[in-house]
Amino acid sequence: MDLQKLYALKSKFVVRVVGNELILVPLTGNVAQMNELFTMNETGKFIWENLGEKTTIENLETLVTEAFDVDADTAKKDIENFIKKLETIL
């Protein structure tokens, strides 16, 4: 899934920050889906908040590297995990 598609889906969630974490609740029209809530850790929260209309993977890698003082490989893995997690939600 590309980042633009993920950005477009941001409006389908209601979010709440709890400490350094994020809760995502999908807007749904079906009672069977209403228990599907998700949490993001600090890194996931950061990526979610920095996911903009024109964000690229490279932009995010740079931002994560700077914000969390990690190397590029670690940042890349964090972003891959974030995308994988969102794909399980969507």
Partner 1 sequence: MQNSIHLKIADFSIKLYSDISIELEEGYLPFVSEDEKGVDDVTIHCFSGIPAIDLQKAELVFEAKNEIQKFYSIFRSDTGLGFIIYNQQTKDEVQQIAFLDETFSQWEVYSNPSSESSRLPLKYPLGPIVMHYLTVKSNSVMIHASCVFDGKTGRIFTGFSGNGKSTISKLWADAGNRIINDDRIIIRKIEDNYMAFNTPMYYIDKPKSTVLNAIFLISHSPENKMKKISGALAVSKVMAFCIQNNFESKLIQNHLDFLSELCIHIPVYELGFVPDASVVNFILANETGRTK
What stretch of H or E contains 24? strand 21-26
Residue selected from 2, 5, 21, 58 as contacting partner 1 according to rule CB under 8 A? 21
Residue number with CB closer to partner 1 (45 or 61) = 45
Q: Is 23 in the site for partner 1 (CB under 8 A)?
A: yes
Return all residues near 58 (Cβ < 8 A) that are at least 6 apart.
Answer: none
Q: Is 26 in the site for partner 1 (CB under 8 A)?
A: yes
Distance of alpha carbon 74 from alpha carbon 66, whole angstroms: 12
Q: Is 16 in the site for partner 1 (CB under 8 A)?
A: yes
Distance of alpha carbon 32 from alpha carbon 77, whole angstroms: 32
Among the residue ranges 1-9, 26-34, 47-55, 74-82, the one whose residues contact partner 1 (CB under 8 A): 26-34
Least CB distance from residue 38 to partner 1, whole Å?
7
String of contacts with partner 1 for each residue 36-55, x by CB under 8 A? -xxxx---------------
Candidates 57, 56, 45, 58; CA nearest to 85 is 45
